[in-house]
Structure 1
């Protein structure tokens, strides 16, 4: 496994994106445990893209304008829904002051599902795996599939670790945020704007 792959993957993972924003938002509003759940869900959301790229299905998104646009606009719609949910409802941004409550399992399932959808409805991830991984698989390699699986696993582990760090940092300052309603309102608006901005960025994305 090359150093170039590790450096490139790290740069891509630490770059702010929808998953990172959601994980930070969860850490601020629900604490460390839920931020780890969000990081785990975002990591799971990579699996379909990885499988599609390895199976060659991602090529359909790359060559079919209709497939790409359909997938892209579904992702845009979901990001806008998250922005609306952040401002109008409590939903994924709800403050959980009860900590380990009887609602914990249900909340964890909701956070996991939302995190998975966030990354699943992002066609650029499929494009990433389609264009990125093959660069680090020699054309003469006799074990290209196992190598792609190993590279994908490293990318997913790196994603989980970085997102957990993001979430842990957010959770660490959580008490300073939730005890100040004005700060919390500002943070909610900030995350809503971030989701809208990421939606616009995705809407303008080309194949």
Structure 2
């Protein structure tokens, strides 16, 4: 993974003394330390926000799941998928701040276990969508069935699609520590940065769901629904196969 700028990382400024981690300018007291720390936190958040904005806007599995769920099961289920994605982002942020997700990069066994669990889940989910596109022929006038429309099922789909993807954990392990200013508790900063990611995903998800609302009347035709299920199923299976062939 490409290295990101280190501008957001707190360094001991010229003219300071004492322990490097204290960031206390000579002769300025505790107030100056607070000012420097706040500036570092704002800089770290701004830099991290720019990086995850590009990640959020890049079409991927999350985008496909949100669009498909919004079109076939309605806004309520689509927001359940979004909340599941948000929960997984917060969990990865907390795990990274606690140092637990570093196991994915330090232990090949742990990484492989999570990776193959993710592969199995994505292939199963995509295969299920393909199967639903075939069985829906029996009743073209029916609305999406309870398995797709259930709020809890939609939430789990969003949660597990990210939580079982070790690439998401590897991204946080590689990027998050570079935006941890010295003197700021890692747990607090991890939650703040993950919160920034969550907010950006929330805004983009609202745009996607709003867009599908405009076209829902046409896209919910039986033939279009079947085609969308097939397309999304193939995309999800493709992500699963891609995860299976990628190296750690």
Quick check: TM above 0.5?
Answer: yes
CA contact (8 A) 1:53 1:129 kept: yes
> Does the CA contact (< 8 Å) of 1:25 and 1:170 recur in 2?
no
Among 103, 117, 122, the residue aligned to 1:60: 103
TM-score by length of 1: 0.85
List alignment gaps of at least 5 residues for structure 1.
none
Measured after TM superposition, the shift of residue 96 of structure 1 is 10
1:136 matched residue in structure 2: 179
Decide whether the 8 Å contact of 1:39 with 1:164 is kept in 2: no
Rg bigger for which structure?
Answer: 2
The structural deviation recorded for 1:185 is 2.3
Residue 147 of structure 1: CA displacement?
A: 2.2
Larger RCO, structures 1/2 (Cα 8 Å, 6+ apart): 1
The separation in 1 between residues aligned to 2:108 and 2:228, in whole angstroms, is 37
More deviation, 39-48/189-198: 39-48
Instruction: Compute the TM-score of the two structures, normalised by the length of structure 2.
Output: 0.72
1:186: which partner in 2? 227
Task: Identify unmatched segments of 5+ residues in structure 2.
Answer: 1-41
Bigger mean CA deviation after superposition, 13-22 or 66-75: 13-22
Determine the C-alpha separation between the residues in 1 that align with 2:67 and 2:168.
20
When the two chains are superposed, the root-mean-square deviation of aligned CA atoms in Å is: 2.5
Check the 8 A contact 2:92/2:163 in 1, yes or no. yes
Which residue in 1 is equivalent to 2:159?
A: 116
- The alpha carbon displacement at 1:151 in A equals 1.2
**Matched positions, count:** 199
